[in-house]
Amino acid sequence: MTAAESYLQLGLRLGRHVDGLVDSYYGPAELKEQVDAEEPVAPAQLVEDAAALRDSLDDGYLRDLVHGCWTYARVLAGEQMSYSDEVEGSYGVRPERTPDSVFEDVHAELDALLPGDGPLDERRRAWRDRHLCPGDRAVAVLDDLLPLLRARTHDLVALPDGERAAFEPVTDEPWWAFNYYLGNLSSRVVLNTDLPTTGLDLIHLASHEVYPGHHTEGALKEQLLVRDHGCLEETIALVPTPVAVLSEGIAEVGADVILDESSREEAYAIIRRHGVELADPVLGAKISEQIDRLGTVGLNAALMIFEDGVSHEAAQEYVQHWTLNTPEQAAQTIRFVTDPTWRAYTITYSAGRELCNAYVGGDPARFRRLLTEQVRVSELISSR
């Protein structure tokens, strides 16, 4: 068995213990059939297997992935480690708390930007509610945005023939949207209609999940790395591995790379045709930019819960205060950061955005490299 096949086997065996840990798999069918047919391997044995595989590998991309699996296997086996050690072991990035003073500055900026003169949280919600898009209509808008985003992405990098993706609605999930990469150059993309989505969110959501985000990365790497070069390790996506930082970073910064002022206006026109209000896209972009700076509130809450022993209720109040969201939305954040599968994952959004944005630096060729090559998180960190 090759090292890549051993990694696939390790990941599939870990996935037998935690639903959703295997984000996607399109590798050798016989390997999955073998793992599905066997008795689940004890977590303690998986710790040993992961360590042996990691220690057999040279320093590099695959070794980083196996190290993430080794860290998660240790958590699964009941080993006590700090939340920060778990996050760093999985993703190669150590979590740092964002000072509340940063959030105070954001609130001051939003106070100047948001219309009205009432309490800030009420004005924030009123702005959002003004632009809300019902879930069934949101899916239709997203589908109509895809051709534009695909064309702009294809201008940057040639997409493989036959790639395809489609949106569908779901409910009762801990996340807002999700890309299930299915292999064969295709994705099933779902939107959690329990959570409020605005017209101003839709461009980001479509670019994050499809073009030039998760679907684009999956299809390009399947074609260029798996089919053309036999990199089997790319046929599995495991939640607790460093590749998640790269993938979320690509998805977070992609729209800014492919869309200019003209193509954004095209996107706004598509959204308006569906009867969704976009009162002032320029103001909306400024407001969204500030709200993005609140993206580490959830990570702070996770550190409070897992390292300070703060109650879920107190952490939810903290999230609600700083994000200016409803109690239900704040509860959804706590649900995500305490979910056994996703609790360490929250860092991938903020760290991925920061690292990929710094690496790309406005250079489309660098963004294209992220989409088409195996790039290590350590390289992104060292290039800051």
10-residue averages of pLDDT along the chain (384 residues): 97 95 96 97 98 98 98 96 97 97 98 94 91 85 95 97 92 83 95 82 93 98 98 97 97 95 94 87 90 95 97 98 93 92 92 96 96 97 87
Q: Which two tokens stand for residue 164?
A: 């395809």
Kindly state whether residue 213 falls inside one of the protein's structural domains: yes
Is 40 in the same domain as 146?
Answer: no
- pLDDT at residue 136 in the model: 77
Is 39 in the same domain as 136?
Answer: no
Sequence-separated (6 or more) residues with CB below 8 Å from residue 355: 93, 245, 249, 377, 380, 381, 384
Kindly state whether residue 30 falls inside one of the protein's structural domains: yes
Is 256 in the same domain as 168?
Answer: yes
Under 8 Å between Cβ of 27 and 237: no
Count of structural domains, the chain? 2
Other CB atoms within a 10 A radius of the CB of residue 313 amount to 10
Kindly state whether residue 286 falls inside one of the protein's structural domains: no
Residue with tokens 């948001």: 114
Is 177 in the same domain as 241?
Answer: yes
Is 154 in the same domain as 30?
Answer: no
Is 46 in the same domain as 153?
Answer: no
Is 50 in the same domain as 193?
Answer: no
Quote the CA–CA distance of 375 and 371 in Å, as a whole number: 9
178 φ, ψ (degrees, to nearest 5): -155, 140
Is 153 in the same domain as 248?
Answer: yes
- pLDDT at residue 358 in the model: 96
Is 372 in the same domain as 248?
Answer: yes
Whole-model pTM: value is 0.93
Is 27 in the same domain as 164?
Answer: no
Is 362 in the same domain as 271?
Answer: yes
Is 184 in the same domain as 63?
Answer: no
Kindly state whether residue 94 falls inside one of the protein's structural domains: no
Tabulate helix, strand, coil % of the chain (nearest 5). Answer: 65, 10, 30
Q: Which structural domain, as residue segments, surrounds residue 262?
A: 132-276+356-382
Kindly state whether residue 289 falls inside one of the protein's structural domains: no
